[in-house]
Amino acid sequence: MSKGVVLGFSGGIDSVTAAQLLKRDGYAVNALTLDTIGDKALVQAAERRAQELGLSFSAMDVRQEFSSYIIDYFEQSYLCGRTPAPCTLCNSLIKWRNLLRQADAIGAEYVATGHYFNIERYNNRYYVAKAADSAKDQSYYLWGLSHQILSRALTPMGHIIKSEVKQNFADKRESMGLCFLQGRSYREFLLERCPNVVRRGNIVDSEGRVVGSHDGVAFYTIGQKRGLDTKVSGGVVVGVNAERNELIIGQQRDLYHATLEVRDCNVVDEDELLSANDISVVIRGVGRNPQGYAQRIERTVDGYRILLSEPAWAPAIGQPLVFYRQNRVIGGGIVESYD
């Protein structure tokens, strides 16, 4: 292995900055663009940018696995009344795995991306940790990374403040949103992929009484108020029953839940998770999260049950839940139920 690093490279502000920082620190940077959706213009633009920076460049066609693991999952989650987290899944199943595969192929020791996060070593284990820039911290989306990946990962953006980076890139736009939506709303995307997603159904209250109608459960998420039948204005979506094609409506107070269950977990040290009394729970990367610490965490047959000291607002089935202990991510999973 050499002091080479394979860098996930889109040619955007963050990956360019990461490349410059790695070069400054003496690494031989190999830029790798993952072609997830067949966007030739994006790949060509990334290659031109890599050449300007004097980087070795390659592209990898991952369209088939991206479609199977990410796009199909995204679509099916909404059709089943779940709230998907495609970026979390892509990081653990597509992006970092293929960076590591490329590093092994060319004999490079390290892998890196333009993500804002750090890595900490604690009790001989590697942990994802928060970035210095709390406003841009992306550790929430990286809880699924394996020990194998973290042991070879570099974090050039971990101590960078995004506002300072942007001053040097006044001519470049930031990429926003999910890459495969290509500027479309998720509603437009679903309509293109599966027109039969439009299926009218009932909106019911907590007692099961019909109070309105909707045009497809896939278009609604927990906590949503906009787009509801005018007959139920003032209410909020508190539940989605895809099997019955029903939305359950309630009030803001109905969105608070103190007990959550998660499955499909990745936990670094289960003993630490179950015994520590200062574990914070995060259920959305940006926005309202539970205050205080978890009161109790218990092992279940296929995951964990979390009793919160302060209830969580609007958790949704399918959403990631991430465990933090101060700056360290000690694990995460997917919300399967709440109470």
Q: Which residues are catalytic?
A: 90, 179
Q: Which string of DSSP letters, residue by residue, matches 206-225? A: TT--EEEEES-GGG--TT--
Nearest-CA neighbor of 175 among 24, 334, 33, 58?
A: 33
Contact assessment for residue 223 and residue 236, using Cβ atoms and an 8 Å cutoff: yes
Quote the CA–CA distance of 243 and 132 in Å, as a whole number.
Answer: 44
Amino acid at 266: N
Contact assessment for residue 223 and residue 243, using Cβ atoms and an 8 Å cutoff: no
Taking every pair of Cα atoms in the chain, the longest distance, rounded to a whole number of angstroms, is 66
Helix (H, G, I), strand (E, B) or coil at 6: strand
Quote the CA–CA distance of 217 and 79 in Å, as a whole number.
Answer: 7
* Residue 5 C-beta-side C-alpha neighbours within 13 Å: 27
Quote the CA–CA distance of 272 and 40 in Å, as a whole number.
Answer: 46
Contact assessment for residue 265 and residue 301, using Cβ atoms and an 8 Å cutoff: no
Helix (H, G, I), strand (E, B) or coil at 312: strand
Quote the CA–CA distance of 257 and 307 in Å, as a whole number.
Answer: 9
Q: Which residue has the tokens 């980087």?
A: 55
What beta strand segments (E) does the chain contain? Answer: 2-8, 28-35, 56-61, 108-112, 118-122, 125-129, 153-154, 201-204, 210-214, 236-241, 246-250, 256-267, 280-282, 294-299, 303-313, 320-325, 328-338
